Amino acid sequence: MGKTKNIQSVERAMQILELFEQGNQEKSVKEIAEHLDLSKSTVFGLINTLNNLGYLRQNEENAKYSLGTRVLALGHAVSSANLLAQKAHPHLQKLSFDYQETCLLAVEENGFVVYIDKTESPGSISINTRIGTKKELFCTGVGKCFLAFLPPQTANNIIGLGLRKVTPNTIATEHELAEELQTIHDKGYAVDREEYELGIRCVAAPIFNKQGEIIASLSLTGPAGRIQAIPLDRLAASLMETASAITRDMDI
């Protein structure tokens, strides 16, 4: 089935909700209108509808808006319905506890990685990656796992969307990326060397189904100095063992 044209009002309503993705700070009608380059009257009509339906709520003291409880309910429903996240979560918790760092679980969607679960140990520094966040594949450990293990044509199509320098450490040429992906394929794990965010490093491993197809990837993520202090062979082995355990639990 071919793609059809988006309904503009629905697209704009979703853009409004996505403005609150990072931090959910309250925003005024004027701030939202300026960010989306729309008139205040257009934005007010959309906001009023979202507010009436419970997707936004208004602070009566300052008249600003934030996400409503209906969004939280939908997010909970998605999380609860996601069998992969449910099965993987105890394994992520154990990794976070063992290494005192944040563990993330991601899937690939339309050429991006989407984070579907996150666990933190009591001693870990919080990593600013929220469930539902999308990131490009070429500059993240979990993303490079997908590029290394997806069918070559699929990976090439995604790479063809373009590479760019996110940080000075990002691999931004196809030749260098191809060499990196071959190394990941050979070793079975990926390393993000501050390629998405300076000061943050991760080691990631692919999760396969029983047919050997990549269905997800997981990472242990934290401050660069602390991750580098962990012997890479030991950490990589832990991640790959955890990935295999998730595959067994999924039984697919």
**Do 149 and 183 belong to one domain?**
yes
Residue ending a domain, among 21, 51, 73, is 73
What pTM was computed for the model? 0.70
pLDDT at 80: 45
Q: Express each pLDDT in 211-220 by its tens digit.
A: 999 999 999 9
Q: Express each pLDDT in 16-30 by its tens digit.
A: 988 887 655 889 999
**Do 230 and 113 belong to one domain?**
yes
**Do 57 and 162 belong to one domain?**
no
pLDDT at 31: 92
Any domain includes 54: yes
Fill in the amino acid letter for 200.
I
Burial (0-12, 13-18, 19+ Cβ within 10 Å), 133: middle
Domain count, the chain: 2
Fill in the amino acid letter for 37.
D
**Do 31 and 89 belong to one domain?**
no
- Phi first, then psi, for residue 169 (nearest 5°) are -90, -5
**Do 168 and 143 belong to one domain?**
yes
Are 223 and 200 in contact by the 8 Å Cβ rule? The answer is: yes
**Do 183 and 222 belong to one domain?**
yes
Q: Which among 165, 158, 162, 164 has a CA at the least distance from the CA of 143?
A: 158
pLDDT at 1: 43
Residue ending a domain, among 18, 40, 73, is 73
pLDDT along the chain (252 residues), means of 10: 74 90 79 92 93 89 87 63 84 95 92 91 76 91 98 94 96 97 98 96 95 95 95 98 93 69
Any domain includes 3: no
CATH code, domain with 50: 1.10.10.10
Any domain includes 189: yes
Q: Which residues contact 198 (CB under 8 A, 6 or more apart)?
A: 167, 168, 169
**Do 48 and 98 belong to one domain?**
no
User: Domain containing 43: what range?
Assistant: 8-73
pLDDT at 78: 60
pLDDT at 23: 59
**Do 67 and 109 belong to one domain?**
no
Any domain includes 91: yes
pLDDT at 67: 86
CATH code, domain with 116: 3.30.450.40
